[in-house]
Amino acid sequence: MRPSGRNPDQLRPIRLTRGFTRHAEGSVLVEFGDTRVLCNASVEDRVPPWLRNKGRGWVTAEYGMLPRATGSRTDREATRGRQQGRTIEIQRLIGRGLRAAVDLEALGERRVVVDCDVLQADGGTRTAAITGGYVALADAIQTLLDKRRIRRNPLHGHIAAVSVGIHQGMPVLDLDYAEDSEAETDMNVIMNEAGHFIEVQGTAEGHAFRRTELDSMLDLAAAGIDELVAAQRLALER
C-alpha cells in the first residue's frame, strides 16, 4: 500500500495551467499533486558567446526553489552566493531534456530560457519541471511562429518526464515526498512521445537494484509518460 493510497502505476493528479503569469512568452504552472512548479519560457534574440554566428539557437533551463517550498526553510541561494550542487544537477538535466525536443537550427540564432521555480515541493520537482517546461516552451515557440519570426516549427515531438522507484520492495510510479524519502531506488526517466529514451537516471539509495527491477521500473515509466504526453496535448489544445 502506498502512503497516498495510489495504485503502483498511478500518477498523482496532473494539472497544467497555461498563462499563469503575463510577461513570459510561455508561462505554465504545473502540478503533480502537491508539487507545484512555475515554468516561464523567455525568448531572447541572442545566443551564448560560443554559439554566435553559427546559425543555431539554444534552449537552456534554470531551476530554483523558493526558500519555503519545503517543510523546513532552506537558505536562499542568492543570499548564499552560489547555487547548490543539487540545483545545478537538476537544471542541467532539465535543459538537456528540453533541448532534445528542439531542432536548434530551425530555432535560429535565439535563446529560449525556461525558468522552473518550485513554489511548493512534494517530490518529483524535476520531472514536473520538464513536463511543464515543455508546454511553456511550446507556447514560447508558438509566439515566434505567430509573429512569423521562424518559418518551420522547431519542436519535433513531445518530451515528458516522470520518476519511478522501488518503495518497500514494490516498483511504483511518480513518487511523492513520503515515498521518495524512504525509497530504495529512485529513477528519473525522460522520454519522447514515441516511447524512446532521452535520459535515464537511476540511483540505488539503499541496496543495489537488479536488472529485473530496472525493467519493471522502465515499464511503469513508459506508461506514465504516455499519460503525461496526453495531458500536455490536452493542455495545448485548450
Q: Which residues bind a second copy (CB under 8 A)?
A: 21-24, 27, 34, 36, 38, 40, 42, 44, 62, 64, 66-73, 76-79, 81-83, 85-89, 91-92, 96, 100, 113, 115, 117, 119-121, 187, 191-192, 194-204, 207-211, 214, 218
- 214 near 202, Cβ under 8 Å? yes
Q: Which three cell numbers stand for residue 179?
A: 515515498
How many alpha carbons fall within 13 Å on the CB side of residue 95? 16
**124 labeled part of a ligand binding site:** yes
In the complex, what is the shortest distance from the CB of residue 42 to a second copy, in angstroms, rounded to a whole number? 4
Determine the Cα–Cα distance for residues 159 and 132; give it in Å rounded to an integer. Answer: 10
Closer CB to a second copy, residue 57 or residue 237? 57
Task: Give the phi and the psi of residue 31 in degrees, each rounded to 5.
Answer: -125, 125
- Sheet with 14-18: list strands edge to edge: 14-18, 26-32, 35-44, 111-120, 58-65
Annotated binding residue 36: no
Closer residue to a second copy, CB minimum distance, 19 or 55: 19
| Smallest distance, a second copy to C-beta of residue 40, A | 4
Q: Are 187 and 217 spatial neighbours (Cβ–Cβ below 8 Å)?
A: yes
Nearer to a second copy, 142 or 197 (CB): 197
Neighbour-count burial for 25-53, b at 16+ CB within 10 Å, e otherwise: bbbbbbbbbebbbbbbbbbeeebeeeeee
Q: How far is the CB of 15 from a second copy (least distance, A)?
A: 15
**Rounded least distance, CB 192 to a second copy, Å:** 5
Q: Between 154 and 202, name the residue whose CB sits nearer to a second copy.
A: 202
Residue 206, annotated as binding a ligand: no
Q: Residue length, the chain?
A: 238
125 marked as part of a ligand binding site = yes
Q: Which residues fall in the annotated binding site?
A: 86, 124-126
Q: Which residues fall in the annotated binding site for phosphate?
A: 86, 124-126
